[in-house]
C-alpha cells in the first residue's frame, strides 16, 4: 500500500472528460516526511511513520524537537504510521502526491464532526414513537422499549441509546481520485470525506 | 495559501464560457448538446428565467416554459460543457430576483412585461 497525510480544504465541483459534473473534496496532501521506520527487530512490527503540516518550534516539546531533528526536518503537527508501505522508504525522505495516480481508488479516514449529546433519532436513526398528535404528549423522539421485562430483567449490553455523537474516527473506502495537482500538493477526491474543514486526513491506497 | 484561495484555484480551472447577461424574468433560448449513443445534436429550450443561483463556475440558472400545457423547468449549470449558446430573446420587467410566483400563474396572468430600456 502507499499513502499520505492531508488536510481537508473543502468541496466544490468540476467536470470530467464526458462533461459530467462531479462533486469533489479538495485535499491538501503532503509533502510528508518519513520521521521513523519501525522494524520487526526493534519494534516488533513493520511500519513507516509520516509527518505532515508545519508547526512552530515554540509549540513543540523538546522530545518531539529531537525526534524531528533526527529526521532532518522541521516540527510537524500531524504524525501517523502506515503499515505494509509499498516501497521501502528511506528515513527522512519526503513523499508527495506523486505516489497517487488519477483515477485510482483510495481510502480516506479522519475525525468526524462532533455533534455533542444527541438522542436516538439523530444518533441511531430511530423513527421515534407514534404520532405527533392524537393525545401523544412528549414521547415523539423517545427510544421506546429497551427490551423485555421479567426476563432478562435488565437492559442488554450494547442497546442503542442517546449519547455523544461524532468526533470519532471514520474511514471511507474506495473514493476515486478525480484529479491531482502536483505543483500545489492537491488531490481532488470524488464525494465527501469525514471531518471539518482543516481537519487532518489519512489517505491510503491498497492495491 | 488559505483555504478559500485553494478552492478558488480549483474552480478557476473550470472553463466558463462567455454568455450574454440575463436575469430573472428574461426570456432566453438555451441551445445545448445532446448525446444519443455516438451521435451529438443540438436542442433548444426557450423559456423564462426563474432564478440565477450561486456565482463562479458553480452558478446555475432555472428556466421555465409551458410545453403541451404542462409547466417544464430545467436547471442548467452555467459552466456545463453541453451548453452551446444562450440567446436573450426578451428582457422582462420583474421586481424580484426569484420569480417563483410564476409557477402559480397560467395563461394571460403568466405574462411578463417587457423591460423599458
DSSP line for A129-152: SS-SSTT--S-TT-----S-STTT
User: B10 and A13 in contact by Cβ < 8 A?
Assistant: no
- pLDDT tens-digit series, residues A78-101: 999 988 877 667 788 888 888 888
Residue carrying the nine cell digits 420583474: B94
ipTM of the complex: 0.76
Residue carrying the nine cell digits 438555451: B30
Low-confidence ranges of chain A (pLDDT < 50): none
Q: Are A159 and A146 in contact (CB under 8 A)?
A: yes
- pLDDT tens-digit series, residues A97-111: 888 888 899 999 999
Q: Give the Cα separation of A77 and A80 in Å (integer).
A: 10
Please give the mean pLDDT across all residues of chain A.
89
**d(CA A202, nearest CA chain B) in Å:** 18
Q: Is B3 at the interface with chain A, CB within 8 A?
A: yes
Domain ranges of chain A: 32-95
pTM for the full predicted model: 0.82
Low-confidence ranges of chain B (pLDDT < 70): 1, 117
User: B7 and A9 in contact by Cβ < 8 A?
Assistant: yes
* CATH placement of domain A32-95: 3.30.160.810
Amino acid at each position: 500500500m502507499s499513502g499520505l497525510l492531508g488536510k481537508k480544504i473543502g468541496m466544490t465541483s468540476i467536470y470530467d472528460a464526458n462533461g459530467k459534473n462531479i462533486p469533489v473534496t479538495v485535499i491538501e496532501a503532503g509533502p510528508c516526511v518519513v520521521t521513523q521506520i519501525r522494524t520487526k527487530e526493534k519494534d516488533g512490527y513493520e511500519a513507516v511513520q509520516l509527518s505532515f503540516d508545519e508547526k512552530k518550534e515554540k509549540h513543540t516539546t523538546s522530545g518531539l524537537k529531537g525526534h524531528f531533528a533526527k529526521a532532518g526536518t522541521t516540527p510537524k503537527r500531524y504524525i501517523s504510521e502506515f503499515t505494509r508501505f509499498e516501497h521501502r522508504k528511506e528515513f527522512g525522505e519526503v513523499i508527495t502526491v506523486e505516489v497517487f495516480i488519477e483515477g485510482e481508488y483510495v481510502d480516506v479516514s479522519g475525525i468526524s464532526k462532533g455533534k455533542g449529546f444527541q438522542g436516538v433519532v439523530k444518533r441511531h436513526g430511530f423513527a421515534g414513537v407514534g404520532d405527533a398528535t392524537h393525545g401523544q404528549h412528549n414521547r415523539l423522539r423517545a427510544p421506546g422499549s429497551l427490551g423485555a421485562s421479567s426476563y432478562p430483567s435488565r437492559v442488554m449490553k450494547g442497546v442503542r441509546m442517546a449519547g455523544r455523537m461524532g468526533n470519532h474516527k471514520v474511514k471511507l473506502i474506495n473514493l476515486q481520485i478525480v484529479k491531482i495537482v502536483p505543483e500545489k500538493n492537491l488531490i481532488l477526491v470524488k464525494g465527501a470525506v469525514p471531518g471539518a474543514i482543516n481537519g487532518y486526513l489519512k489517505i491510503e491506497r491498497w492495491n | 495559501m488559505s483555504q478559500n484561495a485553494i478552492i478558488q484555484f480549483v474552480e478557476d480551472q473550470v472553463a466558463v464560457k462567455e454568455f450574454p447577461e440575463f436575469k430573472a424574468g428574461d426570456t432566453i433560448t438555451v441551445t445545448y448538446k445532446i448525446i444519443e449513443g455516438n451521435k451529438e445534436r443540438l436542442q433548444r429550450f426557450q423559456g423564462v428565467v426563474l432564478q440565477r443561483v450561486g456565482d463562479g463556475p458553480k452558478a446555475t440558472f432555472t428556466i421555465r416554459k409551458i410545453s403541451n400545457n404542462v409547466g417544464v423547468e430545467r436547471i442548467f449549470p452555467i459552466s456545463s460543457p453541453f451548453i452551446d449558446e444562450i440567446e436573450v430573446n426578451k428582457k422582462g420587467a420583474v421586481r424580484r430576483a426569484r420569480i417563483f410566483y410564476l409557477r402559480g400563474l397560467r395563461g394571460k396572468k403568466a405574462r411578463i412585461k417587457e423591460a423599458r430600456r
